[in-house]
Structure 1
Amino acid sequence: MKKKIYYLVKRYKLFLIVFIILILVIIFEKNTGLRAFNSVKDSFFQMLSVLPPIMIILGLMDEWISRESMMKYMGDDSGIMGIAIAITFAAFAAGPMYAAFPFTAVLLKKGVKFTNVIIFMNAWCVIKISTLLFEISSLGYKFTFYRLLIDFVGVIAMGYLVNYFVMKVGKEDKILSSYMKEDV
């Protein structure tokens, strides 16, 4: 029983610390604490309204789309087609950024090229059709076109840069671990 409690405290340490701080703020600064609590409560309920539909879509995607298909269209040899699919998925997506993380887990599980996963995540943040429609009506076609053009280039460049640096660090880790084995 003690091991189970220790495990739970260790696992949820950050949550418990923040919760205790929130209680202390409510005790010493009631108005500030209640505003903070209401903000946390609103964010929690917003998250609960977004995540179940996303989990259903992910479950269907996981079952209906085979790993071979995902690897064919978005895998290592996908080229421009993989980039286009990643950007299209993200452009039609709805929800905040934290909703993209379960999608990325499924994409990685299905064998999607890491560059395409990063492109998907970046495009989720900056290239959404709902945002584009609002932006056109508020800021005009010209601004939206130039921002979108810069975003396309930036999203693709960021995907390749992140992939390059991750692979570089991965190679250094392999080299370091081989040195460490030699010393032993």
Structure 2
Amino acid sequence: MDIVLIAMGFLTLLGYVVMAIIRPQTALSGLDASTEMFVQAVPWIVVSMFAAGLIAQWLQPQLIARWLGREAGFGGILLGTLLGLFGTGSRWAMYPLAAGMFAADASPGAVFAFVTTWQLVSLPRLPAEIPFYGVNFTVVRAIVSVVIALIGGIVVNRWLA
């Protein structure tokens, strides 16, 4: 089992125990909120895992390695960035997809760029921002986010070389 998962589980349990002693009602409210989130998330997690397994079978490692692998260089990072721009799924779908890209030999930088642009930009979500932030801010924010994803992809590839 993963040591980070064990540590997070222990700290969470410790937090609940401390809150149960200090503020029992807060601990109960936390359990209620956690249960509600769990019930909402489980179907997404299950469906996403099955979808990721299926997608992993469709992804051809040779193609992923060629287009998104280390040998693709900056082009792979750029492609990962562009693919992330069109991501519309929830994190329960996108993270397993990114893990499938890793398994198919995509470079860490390309996966970083994919996940980063999906989280920061996602073109299908941009129209929802415009009424709140205006066109200028939304466009500038999107451009800066893409640049961050590209630079981050380069750094991650060099760092994890």
Q: Quick check: TM above 0.5?
A: yes
Q: Would the alpha carbon gap of residues 132 and 84 (structure 1) be closer, same or farther in structure 2, given more than 3 Å must change?
A: same
Shift of 1:100: 4.1
Shift of 1:84: 4.3
* Match in the other structure for 1:133: 127
What letter matches 1:110 in structure 2?
A
Shift of 1:69: 1.5
Is it true that 1:82 corresponds to 2:76 in the alignment?
Answer: yes
TM-score (norm 2): 0.80
TM-score (norm 1): 0.71
Deviation sequence 1:64-84 (CA, Å, 0-9, x none):
121111112212333565334
Q: Distance in 2 between matches of 1:57 and 1:81?
A: 27
Shift of 1:129: 2.9
2:43 to 24, 41, 49: 49
* Match in the other structure for 2:89: 94
Q: Distance in 1 between matches of 2:50 and 2:96?
A: 11
Larger Rg over CA atoms: 1
SS of the equivalent of 2:70 reads coil
What letter matches 1:129 in structure 2?
L
Q: Which runs of 5+ in 2 are unaligned?
A: none
SS of the equivalent of 1:77 reads helix
Q: Distance in 2 between matches of 1:142 and 1:71?
A: 37
Is it true that 1:37 corresponds to 2:31 in the alignment?
Answer: yes
* Match in the other structure for 2:160: 166
Identical pairs, percent: 19
2:150 to 149, 156, 160: 156
Shift of 1:139: 1.5
* Match in the other structure for 1:180: none
Q: Distance in 1 between matches of 2:62 and 2:90?
A: 28
Q: Which runs of 5+ in 1 are unaligned?
A: 1-6, 168-184
Q: Distance in 2 between matches of 1:21 and 1:139?
A: 37
Paired residues, number: 157
Q: Would the alpha carbon gap of residues 159 and 39 (structure 1) be closer, same or farther in structure 2, given more than 3 Å must change?
A: same
Q: Distance in 2 between matches of 1:62 and 1:156?
A: 25
Residues 68 and 77, structure 2, Cα contact 8 Å, conserved in 1: yes
* Match in the other structure for 1:61: 55
Q: Would the alpha carbon gap of residues 45 and 64 (structure 1) be closer, same or farther in structure 2, given more than 3 Å must change?
A: same
Q: Would the alpha carbon gap of residues 21 and 150 (structure 1) be closer, same or farther in structure 2, given more than 3 Å must change?
A: closer
Residues 52 and 93, structure 2, Cα contact 8 Å, conserved in 1: no
SS of the equivalent of 1:112 reads coil
Using CA pairs under 8 Å that are at least 6 residues apart, name the structure with larger relative contact order, 1 or 2. Answer: 2
SS of the equivalent of 1:44 reads helix
Runs of 4+ aligned structure 1 residues displaced above 6 Å come to none
